[in-house]
Structure 1
Amino acid sequence: MWSEGKKLRRAAALLARGKLRIPSRDGSDPEPEAEVNAAAAFFGLSPEGRLEVEEEFALWPECVENFNLWLQVQTQWRVGVNGKEGLDYGSVVAYMKDVLLVPKKKRKELFDGLRAMEAAYLDELEQAAQ
């Protein structure tokens, strides 16, 4: 789980920075360069040179279930005066139990991965605010 946790934390940090592109299932997504060129063309601009992508990130298959859960519980943030403070754990557990019907033994593993992502996401938001 340690290396999976690192991968999940990295995914959450990239999401917090807005630097994680999630492709569609059918692979019909335009490449980032095509997206930038289309956006620039809309304004009558033509970018010079090639788009530099900071890094490529791939999620391991064993992390996909956790990542999908993360995406599904994004409405469960507790929000304070300074923004997101943490996930509402009671709601997350209820969602896993009652909606996703995750077996009790599997819930702890998913919850641990979710908490790793939450910590990385909040750390990234805090760094961005400074």
Structure 2
Amino acid sequence: MNTPNWTRAHCRNNPQQWDHELDPRQPESTAQRHTRYKKSIELCRTCPALTACRQLAAQISTPAGVLAGKLYPASERRLFEASHARVSHEDVESAFNQLMSSLRSQSRRHPVVDRHSPRIHSA
């Protein structure tokens, strides 16, 4: 596979133009953002690096902003991040211990009868 030549990519000189937020310290209006996105998409679709960019975009799990001539809303990124939030080891261990305790309690209250053996077994 050929290494892409990014030197002629339109976004190379001003990558912030393609970002979801231009500058968080200087908020832009919704109309300004849409105008910026429209210009970015138009430039993107005429870019000599578009094919390589599309290949790269396919590998990014949560893009936001304009990439490969397409707009990726940040809300989708936030939803992805929220659904893939990191859980601490302590939280996992606590949940596991609660589950095991519940299962032990249920097995004491409801013994399992093995049809192949006359004895009663705990689950």
Q: TM-score, normalised by structure 2?
A: 0.22
Query: Which of the pair has more CA radius of gyration?
Result: 2
Task: Compute the TM-score of the two structures, normalised by the length of structure 1.
Answer: 0.21
Structure with the greater relative contact order (CA < 8 A, sep ≥ 6): 1 or 2? 1
**Hey, which of these two has a bigger chunk of helix by percent?**
1
